[in-house]
């Protein structure tokens, strides 16, 4: 997977899923609320974003199982990298597959983790839904500047980012064609989710 390698770390995906994917907008009643309960968890703690597999930055709290997300206003340059820096694409491949790509745009990828008040690890936090047909998630990327990243890897991996400076909510949809044995995924700053009302915070440890 070319553009999904970092997303997989962010969202911790691993199921094989079905190819029934349609982009649709959701009614307000179906929108996911970030400040909502964690499925099956009633404890408290501190939410942090793990950057560079080592740096933890405060990003909110959990009280009696309910999330209060408070993303940091700024991310320092040391945690920023090129969008494809840790993938397997060279400049020629980016030019072949991407109709929009700002070379100087920098991004911070990060995982949400939950710790206790002493900073001890409790588990990973994901906003996630999955069944036998599809898998969907919401995650957050920090961009150093506004810009567009539009790529299509033979209709198997699609990236459609229209980023503003700072934190951007990114939507992820993955499906599987069982008859062909192939996966298809899309990530976008536009809401492409079909199961958003079923999304939940999940704690994995």
Please provide the DSSP assignment of 127-142 as one string.
EEEE-SSEEEEEEEEE
Query: For 29-48, how does the pLDDT look when each residue is reduced to its tens digit (9 = 90+)?
Result: 689 999 999 999 999 999 99
Domain ranges of the chain: 5-204
Q: Distance between CA 160 and CA 106 in Å, rounded?
A: 16
**Mean of pLDDT values over 102-125:** 93
Q: What is the pLDDT of residues 118-170, one digit of tens each?
A: 999 999 999 999 998 899 999 999 999 999 999 999 888 999 999 999 999 99
Query: DSSP H helical segments within the chain, as ranges?
Result: 5-11, 91-97
Token digits of residue 63:
């009280």
| pLDDT per position as a tens digit, 46-78 | 999 998 778 899 999 999 999 999 999 999 999
User: Could you give the CA distance from residue 162 to residue 70 in angstroms, rounded to a whole number?
Assistant: 22
Paired tokens of 26: 């959701």
The pLDDT tens digits for 172-195 are 999 977 666 678 999 999 999 999
What's residue 25's pLDDT?
38
Place 12 in a pLDDT band, splitting at 50, 70 and 90. Answer: very low
pTM: 0.83
Cβ atoms 3, 151 nearer than 8 A: yes
- What local confidence, expressed as pLDDT, does residue 115 receive? 97
Q: Which residue has the tokens 């079923």?
A: 198
- Whether residue 13 is predicted with pLDDT greater than 50 in this model: the reply is no
Q: What is the predicted pLDDT for the residue at 113? A: 97
pLDDT in the model for residue 176: 77
């Amino acid at each position: 997977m070319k553009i999904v390698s970092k997303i997989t770390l962010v969202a911790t995906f691993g199921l094989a899923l079905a190819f029934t994917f349609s982009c649709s907008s959701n009614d307000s009643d179906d929108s996911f609320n970030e400040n909502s309960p964690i499925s099956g968890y009633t404890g408290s703690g501190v939410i942090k974003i793990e950057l560079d597999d080592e740096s933890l930055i405060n990003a909110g709290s959990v009280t009696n199982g309910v999330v209060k997300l408070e993303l940091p206003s700024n991310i320092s340059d040391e945690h920023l990298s090129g969008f494809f820096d840790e993938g397997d694409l060279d400049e020629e491949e980016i030019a072949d597959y991407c109709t929009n790509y700002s070379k100087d745009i920098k991004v911070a990828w990060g995982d949400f983790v939950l710790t206790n008040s002493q900073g001890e690890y409790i588990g990973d936090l994901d906003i996630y839904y999955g069944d036998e047909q599809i898998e969907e998630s919401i995650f957050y990327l920090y961009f150093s500047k506004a810009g567009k990243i539009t790529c299509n890897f033979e209709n198997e991996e699609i990236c459609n980012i229209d980023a503003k400076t700072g934190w951007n909510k990114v939507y992820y949809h993955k499906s599987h064609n069982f008859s062909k044995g192939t996966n298809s995924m899309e990530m976008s700053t536009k809401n492409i989710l079909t199961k958003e009302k079923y999304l939940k915070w999940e704690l994995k440890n």
